[in-house]
Structure 1
Protein backbone atom coordinates (compact mmCIF):
# COMPACT_ATOMS: atom_id res chain seq x y z
CA UNK A 1 0.00 0.00 0.00
CA UNK A 2 2.90 2.36 0.72
CA UNK A 3 4.12 1.92 -2.86
CA UNK A 4 0.70 2.79 -4.25
CA UNK A 5 0.49 5.90 -2.10
CA UNK A 6 3.84 7.11 -3.45
CA UNK A 7 2.91 6.80 -7.11
CA UNK A 8 3.62 9.95 -9.08
CA UNK A 9 1.74 9.77 -12.38
CA UNK A 10 1.76 13.54 -12.69
CA UNK A 11 5.55 13.66 -13.02
CA UNK A 12 5.56 10.71 -15.43
CA UNK A 13 2.98 12.37 -17.64
CA UNK A 14 4.80 15.68 -17.51
CA UNK A 15 8.20 14.33 -18.60
CA UNK A 16 7.53 11.03 -20.38
CA UNK A 17 4.46 11.93 -22.41
CA UNK A 18 6.26 14.51 -24.64
CA UNK A 19 8.91 11.90 -25.40
CA UNK A 20 6.24 9.34 -26.29
CA UNK A 21 4.60 11.82 -28.64
CA UNK A 22 7.95 12.32 -30.39
CA UNK A 23 8.40 8.55 -30.64
CA UNK A 24 4.91 8.25 -32.11
CA UNK A 25 6.16 9.49 -35.48
CA UNK A 26 8.75 6.74 -35.57
CA UNK A 27 6.08 4.16 -34.76
CA UNK A 28 3.78 5.49 -37.48
CA UNK A 29 6.61 5.56 -40.02
CA UNK A 30 7.60 1.97 -39.27
CA UNK A 31 3.96 0.83 -39.34
CA UNK A 32 2.98 2.56 -42.59
CA UNK A 33 6.06 1.61 -44.61
CA UNK A 34 6.26 -1.84 -43.06
CA UNK A 35 2.63 -2.54 -43.88
CA UNK A 36 2.94 -1.30 -47.46
CA UNK A 37 5.95 -3.57 -47.90
CA UNK A 38 3.99 -6.46 -46.37
CA UNK A 39 1.10 -6.03 -48.82
CA UNK A 40 3.37 -5.82 -51.88
CA UNK A 41 5.51 -8.74 -50.73
CA UNK A 42 2.45 -10.76 -49.75
CA UNK A 43 0.87 -10.24 -53.15
CA UNK A 44 4.06 -11.24 -54.99
CA UNK A 45 4.51 -14.36 -52.87
CA UNK A 46 0.85 -15.32 -53.32
CA UNK A 47 1.17 -15.03 -57.11
CA UNK A 48 4.38 -17.05 -57.01
CA UNK A 49 2.70 -19.76 -54.93
CA UNK A 50 -0.03 -20.30 -57.53
CA UNK A 51 2.36 -20.17 -60.51
CA UNK A 52 3.19 -23.24 -62.60
CA UNK A 53 6.92 -22.95 -61.92
CA UNK A 54 7.71 -25.73 -59.43
CA UNK A 55 11.14 -24.40 -58.48
CA UNK A 56 9.68 -21.00 -57.61
CA UNK A 57 6.91 -22.59 -55.55
CA UNK A 58 9.45 -24.72 -53.72
CA UNK A 59 11.73 -21.79 -52.88
CA UNK A 60 8.78 -19.74 -51.62
CA UNK A 61 7.54 -22.60 -49.44
CA UNK A 62 10.97 -22.92 -47.80
CA UNK A 63 11.13 -19.14 -47.28
CA UNK A 64 7.64 -19.05 -45.76
CA UNK A 65 8.38 -21.93 -43.41
CA UNK A 66 11.57 -20.22 -42.25
CA UNK A 67 9.80 -16.93 -41.52
CA UNK A 68 6.77 -18.51 -39.87
CA UNK A 69 8.93 -20.92 -37.90
CA UNK A 70 11.12 -18.27 -36.24
CA UNK A 71 10.13 -15.48 -33.81
CA UNK A 72 9.68 -11.95 -35.13
CA UNK A 73 12.17 -10.62 -32.57
CA UNK A 74 14.86 -13.01 -33.82
CA UNK A 75 14.16 -11.91 -37.40
CA UNK A 76 14.50 -8.25 -36.46
CA UNK A 77 17.83 -8.86 -34.73
CA UNK A 78 19.00 -10.96 -37.68
CA UNK A 79 17.98 -8.25 -40.15
CA UNK A 80 19.84 -5.54 -38.21
CA UNK A 81 23.04 -7.35 -37.23
CA UNK A 82 23.51 -10.28 -39.62
CA UNK A 83 22.04 -9.36 -43.02
CA UNK A 84 24.30 -6.30 -43.55
CA UNK A 85 27.33 -8.46 -42.74
CA UNK A 86 26.31 -11.18 -45.18
CA UNK A 87 25.68 -8.65 -47.96
CA UNK A 88 29.00 -6.95 -47.23
CA UNK A 89 30.86 -10.28 -47.46
CA UNK A 90 29.27 -11.03 -50.84
CA UNK A 91 29.96 -7.55 -52.28
CA UNK A 92 33.56 -7.62 -50.99
CA UNK A 93 34.25 -10.32 -53.58
CA UNK A 94 34.12 -7.56 -56.23
CA UNK A 95 34.70 -4.53 -54.02
CA UNK A 96 37.17 -5.23 -51.15
CA UNK A 97 36.59 -3.20 -48.02
CA UNK A 98 32.91 -2.55 -48.70
CA UNK A 99 30.74 -2.33 -45.58
CA UNK A 100 26.97 -2.09 -45.80
CA UNK A 101 25.34 0.01 -43.11
CA UNK A 102 21.60 0.34 -42.60
CA UNK A 103 19.83 2.27 -39.88
CA UNK A 104 18.01 0.46 -37.12
CA UNK A 105 14.69 1.93 -38.29
CA UNK A 106 15.18 0.68 -41.85
CA UNK A 107 16.17 -2.77 -40.60
CA UNK A 108 13.19 -2.88 -38.26
CA UNK A 109 10.77 -1.75 -40.96
CA UNK A 110 12.11 -4.36 -43.39
CA UNK A 111 11.85 -7.03 -40.72
CA UNK A 112 8.23 -6.17 -39.96
CA UNK A 113 7.33 -5.99 -43.65
CA UNK A 114 8.88 -9.34 -44.49
CA UNK A 115 7.37 -11.11 -41.49
CA UNK A 116 3.85 -9.82 -42.03
CA UNK A 117 4.18 -10.16 -45.79
CA UNK A 118 4.62 -13.91 -45.41
CA UNK A 119 1.45 -14.24 -43.34
CA UNK A 120 -0.51 -11.90 -45.60
CA UNK A 121 0.59 -13.91 -48.64
CA UNK A 122 -1.28 -16.96 -47.37
CA UNK A 123 -4.40 -14.88 -46.83
CA UNK A 124 -4.22 -13.48 -50.38
CA UNK A 125 -3.46 -16.89 -51.87
CA UNK A 126 -6.44 -18.45 -50.10
CA UNK A 127 -8.66 -15.63 -51.34
CA UNK A 128 -7.43 -16.08 -54.92
CA UNK A 129 -8.01 -19.83 -54.82
CA UNK A 130 -11.53 -19.36 -53.40
CA UNK A 131 -12.69 -17.24 -56.37
CA UNK A 132 -14.97 -19.14 -58.74
CA UNK A 133 -12.91 -20.62 -61.58
CA UNK A 134 -15.84 -19.93 -63.91
CA UNK A 135 -14.86 -16.26 -63.96
CA UNK A 136 -11.42 -17.18 -65.28
CA UNK A 137 -12.87 -19.46 -67.92
CA UNK A 138 -15.34 -16.81 -69.06
CA UNK A 139 -12.63 -14.14 -69.27
CA UNK A 140 -10.34 -16.41 -71.25
CA UNK A 141 -13.20 -17.19 -73.59
CA UNK A 142 -13.61 -13.46 -74.21
CA UNK A 143 -10.00 -13.23 -75.36
CA UNK A 144 -8.21 -12.03 -72.22
CA UNK A 145 -4.77 -13.45 -71.44
CA UNK A 146 -3.95 -15.21 -68.18
CA UNK A 147 -2.07 -12.12 -66.95
CA UNK A 148 -5.01 -9.86 -67.77
CA UNK A 149 -7.44 -12.18 -65.99
CA UNK A 150 -5.20 -12.23 -62.93
CA UNK A 151 -4.57 -8.47 -62.79
CA UNK A 152 -8.03 -7.22 -63.81
CA UNK A 153 -10.43 -9.77 -62.37
CA UNK A 154 -8.91 -12.14 -59.82
CA UNK A 155 -6.54 -9.94 -57.80
CA UNK A 156 -8.97 -6.98 -57.33
CA UNK A 157 -11.61 -9.35 -55.98
CA UNK A 158 -9.13 -11.20 -53.79
CA UNK A 159 -7.78 -8.00 -52.24
CA UNK A 160 -11.28 -6.67 -51.58
CA UNK A 161 -12.22 -9.89 -49.80
CA UNK A 162 -9.24 -9.77 -47.45
CA UNK A 163 -9.43 -6.11 -46.42
CA UNK A 164 -10.86 -7.03 -42.97
CA UNK A 165 -7.89 -9.33 -42.37
CA UNK A 166 -5.52 -6.59 -43.53
CA UNK A 167 -7.00 -4.33 -40.88
CA UNK A 168 -6.29 -6.85 -38.13
CA UNK A 169 -2.70 -7.25 -39.30
CA UNK A 170 -2.27 -3.47 -39.34
CA UNK A 171 -3.29 -3.19 -35.69
CA UNK A 172 -0.99 -6.09 -34.81
CA UNK A 173 1.94 -4.47 -36.62
CA UNK A 174 1.35 -1.19 -34.81
CA UNK A 175 1.70 -3.00 -31.48
CA UNK A 176 4.64 -5.11 -32.67
CA UNK A 177 6.66 -1.97 -33.36
CA UNK A 178 7.49 -2.17 -29.64
CA UNK A 179 9.91 -4.98 -30.59
CA UNK A 180 12.00 -2.44 -32.51
CA UNK A 181 13.38 -1.31 -29.16
CA UNK A 182 15.57 -4.42 -29.22
CA UNK A 183 17.34 -3.21 -32.38
CA UNK A 184 17.94 0.26 -30.90
CA UNK A 185 15.03 2.07 -32.59
CA UNK A 186 14.04 5.00 -30.40
CA UNK A 187 10.33 4.14 -30.37
CA UNK A 188 7.90 4.13 -27.44
CA UNK A 189 9.20 1.17 -25.43
CA UNK A 190 12.85 2.21 -25.61
CA UNK A 191 11.97 5.75 -24.55
CA UNK A 192 9.91 4.40 -21.66
CA UNK A 193 12.70 2.07 -20.53
CA UNK A 194 15.18 4.93 -20.58
CA UNK A 195 12.94 7.23 -18.57
CA UNK A 196 11.96 4.53 -16.05
CA UNK A 197 15.62 3.65 -15.39
CA UNK A 198 16.48 7.31 -14.74
CA UNK A 199 13.42 8.35 -12.73
CA UNK A 200 12.66 5.01 -10.98
CA UNK A 201 8.98 5.64 -11.79
CA UNK A 202 8.60 2.11 -13.09
CA UNK A 203 4.90 1.55 -12.46
CA UNK A 204 3.93 4.98 -13.71
CA UNK A 205 6.10 4.82 -16.85
CA UNK A 206 4.97 1.42 -18.12
CA UNK A 207 1.36 2.09 -17.23
CA UNK A 208 1.49 5.29 -19.25
CA UNK A 209 3.06 3.35 -22.13
CA UNK A 210 0.27 0.75 -22.05
CA UNK A 211 -2.41 3.45 -22.04
CA UNK A 212 -0.64 5.22 -24.92
CA UNK A 213 -0.70 2.06 -27.05
CA UNK A 214 -4.34 1.53 -26.13
CA UNK A 215 -5.20 5.05 -27.28
CA UNK A 216 -3.48 4.31 -30.59
CA UNK A 217 -4.91 0.88 -31.30
CA UNK A 218 -8.56 1.28 -30.25
CA UNK A 219 -9.45 4.16 -32.63
CA UNK A 220 -7.57 2.40 -35.44
CA UNK A 221 -9.59 -0.76 -34.82
CA UNK A 222 -12.82 1.26 -34.99
CA UNK A 223 -11.77 2.86 -38.28
CA UNK A 224 -11.07 -0.59 -39.70
CA UNK A 225 -14.55 -1.77 -38.66
CA UNK A 226 -16.09 1.20 -40.50
CA UNK A 227 -14.08 0.35 -43.61
CA UNK A 228 -15.28 -3.25 -43.38
CA UNK A 229 -18.89 -2.15 -43.21
CA UNK A 230 -18.44 0.12 -46.23
CA UNK A 231 -16.92 -2.70 -48.23
CA UNK A 232 -19.70 -5.10 -47.27
CA UNK A 233 -22.26 -2.49 -48.21
CA UNK A 234 -20.92 -2.02 -51.73
CA UNK A 235 -19.95 -5.63 -52.36
Structure 2
Protein backbone atom coordinates (compact mmCIF):
# COMPACT_ATOMS: atom_id res chain seq x y z
CA UNK A 1 0.00 0.00 0.00
CA UNK A 2 2.93 2.36 0.72
CA UNK A 3 4.07 1.98 -2.87
CA UNK A 4 0.66 2.94 -4.22
CA UNK A 5 0.47 5.89 -1.85
CA UNK A 6 3.82 7.19 -3.08
CA UNK A 7 3.02 7.04 -6.78
CA UNK A 8 3.78 10.34 -8.47
CA UNK A 9 2.32 10.33 -11.97
CA UNK A 10 2.26 14.13 -12.18
CA UNK A 11 6.04 14.39 -11.90
CA UNK A 12 6.60 11.56 -14.34
CA UNK A 13 4.17 13.13 -16.78
CA UNK A 14 5.83 16.53 -16.46
CA UNK A 15 9.36 15.35 -17.21
CA UNK A 16 8.94 12.12 -19.19
CA UNK A 17 6.19 12.96 -21.68
CA UNK A 18 8.14 15.83 -23.36
CA UNK A 19 11.04 13.42 -23.83
CA UNK A 20 8.70 10.82 -25.33
CA UNK A 21 7.35 13.42 -27.74
CA UNK A 22 10.91 14.26 -28.79
CA UNK A 23 11.59 10.58 -29.40
CA UNK A 24 8.42 10.20 -31.43
CA UNK A 25 10.20 11.37 -34.59
CA UNK A 26 12.61 8.44 -34.38
CA UNK A 27 9.70 6.01 -34.04
CA UNK A 28 7.91 7.53 -37.04
CA UNK A 29 11.09 7.67 -39.11
CA UNK A 30 12.16 4.09 -38.52
CA UNK A 31 8.61 2.81 -39.00
CA UNK A 32 8.00 4.56 -42.32
CA UNK A 33 11.44 3.93 -43.83
CA UNK A 34 11.56 0.37 -42.51
CA UNK A 35 8.13 -0.38 -43.89
CA UNK A 36 8.91 1.07 -47.32
CA UNK A 37 12.06 -1.03 -47.41
CA UNK A 38 10.05 -4.08 -46.36
CA UNK A 39 7.57 -3.61 -49.21
CA UNK A 40 10.33 -3.19 -51.80
CA UNK A 41 12.29 -6.20 -50.54
CA UNK A 42 9.10 -8.23 -50.17
CA UNK A 43 8.09 -7.52 -53.74
CA UNK A 44 11.47 -8.50 -55.18
CA UNK A 45 11.65 -11.63 -53.05
CA UNK A 46 8.12 -12.61 -54.08
CA UNK A 47 9.05 -12.21 -57.74
CA UNK A 48 12.22 -14.22 -57.14
CA UNK A 49 10.26 -16.99 -55.44
CA UNK A 50 8.07 -17.32 -58.53
CA UNK A 51 11.11 -17.31 -60.83
CA UNK A 52 11.79 -20.23 -63.13
CA UNK A 53 15.47 -20.19 -62.10
CA UNK A 54 15.85 -22.90 -59.50
CA UNK A 55 18.99 -21.41 -57.92
CA UNK A 56 17.28 -18.09 -57.22
CA UNK A 57 14.33 -19.86 -55.61
CA UNK A 58 16.66 -22.01 -53.50
CA UNK A 59 18.71 -19.09 -52.21
CA UNK A 60 15.58 -17.14 -51.30
CA UNK A 61 14.03 -20.12 -49.51
CA UNK A 62 17.15 -20.52 -47.33
CA UNK A 63 17.25 -16.78 -46.60
CA UNK A 64 13.55 -16.62 -45.76
CA UNK A 65 13.75 -19.61 -43.44
CA UNK A 66 16.76 -18.12 -41.67
CA UNK A 67 15.04 -14.76 -41.09
CA UNK A 68 11.70 -16.25 -40.06
CA UNK A 69 13.41 -18.81 -37.83
CA UNK A 70 15.39 -16.30 -35.74
CA UNK A 71 14.11 -13.58 -33.37
CA UNK A 72 13.87 -10.01 -34.64
CA UNK A 73 15.90 -8.77 -31.66
CA UNK A 74 18.77 -11.11 -32.54
CA UNK A 75 18.66 -9.87 -36.14
CA UNK A 76 18.81 -6.23 -35.02
CA UNK A 77 21.78 -6.92 -32.76
CA UNK A 78 23.49 -8.85 -35.56
CA UNK A 79 22.88 -6.03 -38.04
CA UNK A 80 24.31 -3.40 -35.70
CA UNK A 81 27.25 -5.22 -34.14
CA UNK A 82 28.24 -8.05 -36.49
CA UNK A 83 27.52 -6.89 -40.05
CA UNK A 84 29.82 -3.84 -39.82
CA UNK A 85 32.63 -6.10 -38.58
CA UNK A 86 32.11 -8.54 -41.46
CA UNK A 87 32.08 -5.71 -44.01
CA UNK A 88 35.24 -4.26 -42.43
CA UNK A 89 37.01 -7.63 -42.66
CA UNK A 90 36.08 -7.98 -46.34
CA UNK A 91 37.07 -4.38 -47.05
CA UNK A 92 40.47 -4.87 -45.43
CA UNK A 93 41.32 -7.47 -48.06
CA UNK A 94 41.72 -4.58 -50.53
CA UNK A 95 42.27 -1.65 -48.16
CA UNK A 96 44.11 -2.44 -44.91
CA UNK A 97 42.75 -0.40 -42.05
CA UNK A 98 39.30 -0.02 -43.60
CA UNK A 99 36.56 0.31 -41.01
CA UNK A 100 32.88 0.23 -41.87
CA UNK A 101 30.52 2.00 -39.48
CA UNK A 102 26.74 2.20 -39.41
CA UNK A 103 24.50 4.23 -37.12
CA UNK A 104 22.10 2.45 -34.81
CA UNK A 105 19.11 4.11 -36.50
CA UNK A 106 20.19 2.94 -39.97
CA UNK A 107 20.97 -0.55 -38.69
CA UNK A 108 17.60 -0.75 -36.95
CA UNK A 109 15.71 0.49 -39.99
CA UNK A 110 17.43 -2.03 -42.26
CA UNK A 111 16.87 -4.82 -39.74
CA UNK A 112 13.16 -4.06 -39.48
CA UNK A 113 12.88 -3.80 -43.27
CA UNK A 114 14.55 -7.15 -43.90
CA UNK A 115 12.56 -8.98 -41.23
CA UNK A 116 9.17 -7.67 -42.29
CA UNK A 117 10.12 -7.90 -45.95
CA UNK A 118 10.45 -11.66 -45.62
CA UNK A 119 6.96 -12.00 -44.19
CA UNK A 120 5.48 -9.55 -46.67
CA UNK A 121 7.10 -11.44 -49.56
CA UNK A 122 5.09 -14.55 -48.72
CA UNK A 123 1.90 -12.51 -48.59
CA UNK A 124 2.61 -10.98 -52.00
CA UNK A 125 3.64 -14.33 -53.48
CA UNK A 126 0.43 -15.97 -52.29
CA UNK A 127 -1.56 -13.11 -53.77
CA UNK A 128 0.29 -13.44 -57.09
CA UNK A 129 -0.40 -17.18 -57.24
CA UNK A 130 -4.09 -16.62 -56.50
CA UNK A 131 -4.60 -14.53 -59.64
CA UNK A 132 -6.43 -16.42 -62.38
CA UNK A 133 -3.94 -17.98 -64.79
CA UNK A 134 -6.35 -17.20 -67.61
CA UNK A 135 -5.39 -13.53 -67.38
CA UNK A 136 -1.76 -14.41 -68.00
CA UNK A 137 -2.61 -16.67 -70.92
CA UNK A 138 -4.83 -13.99 -72.49
CA UNK A 139 -2.14 -11.33 -72.10
CA UNK A 140 0.51 -13.58 -73.65
CA UNK A 141 -1.86 -14.36 -76.52
CA UNK A 142 -2.19 -10.61 -77.14
CA UNK A 143 1.57 -10.33 -77.54
CA UNK A 144 2.70 -9.14 -74.12
CA UNK A 145 5.99 -10.46 -72.79
CA UNK A 146 6.29 -12.29 -69.48
CA UNK A 147 7.81 -9.19 -67.85
CA UNK A 148 4.98 -7.01 -69.14
CA UNK A 149 2.39 -9.45 -67.83
CA UNK A 150 4.12 -9.42 -64.46
CA UNK A 151 4.45 -5.64 -64.19
CA UNK A 152 1.12 -4.61 -65.75
CA UNK A 153 -1.31 -7.34 -64.71
CA UNK A 154 -0.10 -9.62 -61.91
CA UNK A 155 1.79 -7.27 -59.59
CA UNK A 156 -0.82 -4.42 -59.55
CA UNK A 157 -3.61 -6.87 -58.70
CA UNK A 158 -1.50 -8.70 -56.13
CA UNK A 159 -0.54 -5.48 -54.32
CA UNK A 160 -4.13 -4.21 -54.31
CA UNK A 161 -5.33 -7.45 -52.73
CA UNK A 162 -2.82 -7.34 -49.88
CA UNK A 163 -3.20 -3.68 -48.86
CA UNK A 164 -5.17 -4.61 -45.69
CA UNK A 165 -2.44 -7.05 -44.67
CA UNK A 166 0.17 -4.34 -45.21
CA UNK A 167 -1.71 -2.19 -42.73
CA UNK A 168 -1.54 -4.85 -40.04
CA UNK A 169 2.20 -5.26 -40.57
CA UNK A 170 2.62 -1.49 -40.31
CA UNK A 171 0.99 -1.47 -36.88
CA UNK A 172 3.16 -4.38 -35.79
CA UNK A 173 6.32 -2.63 -36.98
CA UNK A 174 5.37 0.52 -35.09
CA UNK A 175 5.28 -1.47 -31.86
CA UNK A 176 8.42 -3.43 -32.72
CA UNK A 177 10.44 -0.21 -32.92
CA UNK A 178 10.68 -0.57 -29.14
CA UNK A 179 13.27 -3.31 -29.78
CA UNK A 180 15.60 -0.68 -31.23
CA UNK A 181 16.36 0.41 -27.66
CA UNK A 182 18.57 -2.67 -27.37
CA UNK A 183 20.90 -1.38 -30.09
CA UNK A 184 21.12 2.07 -28.48
CA UNK A 185 18.55 3.87 -30.65
CA UNK A 186 17.31 6.77 -28.51
CA UNK A 187 13.64 6.03 -29.08
CA UNK A 188 10.89 6.20 -26.49
CA UNK A 189 11.63 2.93 -24.65
CA UNK A 190 15.28 3.84 -24.12
CA UNK A 191 14.24 7.31 -22.97
CA UNK A 192 11.79 5.74 -20.52
CA UNK A 193 14.42 3.34 -19.17
CA UNK A 194 16.83 6.23 -18.66
CA UNK A 195 14.27 8.37 -16.86
CA UNK A 196 13.01 5.52 -14.68
CA UNK A 197 16.55 4.63 -13.56
CA UNK A 198 17.25 8.24 -12.60
CA UNK A 199 13.95 9.11 -10.96
CA UNK A 200 13.03 5.68 -9.53
CA UNK A 201 9.48 6.30 -10.80
CA UNK A 202 9.38 2.88 -12.40
CA UNK A 203 5.64 2.19 -12.27
CA UNK A 204 4.75 5.67 -13.43
CA UNK A 205 7.30 5.74 -16.26
CA UNK A 206 6.46 2.43 -17.87
CA UNK A 207 2.73 3.00 -17.43
CA UNK A 208 3.01 6.27 -19.32
CA UNK A 209 5.09 4.51 -21.99
CA UNK A 210 2.41 1.87 -22.45
CA UNK A 211 -0.28 4.55 -22.75
CA UNK A 212 1.90 6.42 -25.25
CA UNK A 213 2.24 3.34 -27.46
CA UNK A 214 -1.50 2.74 -27.15
CA UNK A 215 -2.21 6.29 -28.31
CA UNK A 216 0.00 5.67 -31.35
CA UNK A 217 -1.22 2.22 -32.35
CA UNK A 218 -4.98 2.55 -31.79
CA UNK A 219 -5.59 5.39 -34.30
CA UNK A 220 -3.33 3.63 -36.80
CA UNK A 221 -5.27 0.39 -36.33
CA UNK A 222 -8.55 2.20 -36.91
CA UNK A 223 -7.12 3.79 -40.05
CA UNK A 224 -6.08 0.34 -41.30
CA UNK A 225 -9.63 -0.96 -40.73
CA UNK A 226 -11.05 2.00 -42.61
CA UNK A 227 -8.73 1.36 -45.57
CA UNK A 228 -9.66 -2.33 -45.48
CA UNK A 229 -13.36 -1.48 -45.73
CA UNK A 230 -12.68 0.89 -48.62
CA UNK A 231 -10.68 -1.75 -50.45
CA UNK A 232 -13.46 -4.33 -50.04
CA UNK A 233 -15.78 -2.09 -52.04
CA UNK A 234 -13.43 -2.30 -55.02
CA UNK A 235 -13.12 -6.11 -54.91
Give the TM-score of the pair, scaled to structure 2: 0.99
Superposition map of 1:87-166 within 5 A = 87-166=87-166
CA displacement at 1:226 relative to structure 2: 1.0
1:234 Cα shift?
Answer: 2.3
**Deviation (angstroms), 1:95:** 1.1
The SS at the match of 1:102 is coil
Give, in whole Å, the separation in 2 of the partners of 1:90 and 1:2.
Answer: 58
Between the aligned partners of 1:201 and 1:130, the Cα distance in structure 2 is 53
Post-superposition Cα deviations, 1:142-171, rounded to whole Å, max 9, x if no partner, equal 111100000000000000110111000000
RMSD: 0.6
Distance 2:145 2:195 in 1: 59
Count residues in correspondence: 235
Q: Deviations over 1:73-103 (max 9, x none)?
A: 0000000000001011111111111100000
Which residue in the other structure is 1:12 paired with?
Answer: 12
Q: Which residue of 1 aligns with 2:55?
A: 55
Aligned counterparts of 2:184 and 2:131: Cα–Cα separation in 1: 44
| Alignment deviations for residues 101-143 of structure 1 (CA, whole Å, 9 cap, x no partner) | 0000000000000000000000000000011000000111111
* Aligned counterparts, 1:32-71, within 5 A: 32-71=32-71
User: What's the secondary structure of 1:70's corresponding residue?
Assistant: coil
Question: Corresponding residue for 1:175?
Answer: 175
Give the aligned partner of residue 224 of structure 1: 224
Return the offset for 1:179.
Answer: 0.2
Q: How big is the shift at 1:232?
A: 1.3
- Which whole-Å deviations, capped at 9, do the CAs of 1:15-57 have from their partners, x for residues lacking one? 0000000000000000000000000000000000000010010
State the match for 1:212 in structure 2: 212
Q: Which runs of 5+ in 2 are unaligned?
A: none
Q: Distance in 2 between matches of 1:25 and 1:233?
A: 34
Q: Per-residue deviation at 1:2?
A: 1.6
Shift of 1:231: 1.2
Q: Secondary structure of the equivalent of 1:185?
A: coil
SS in 1 for 2:51: coil
Name the residue aligned to 2:22: 22
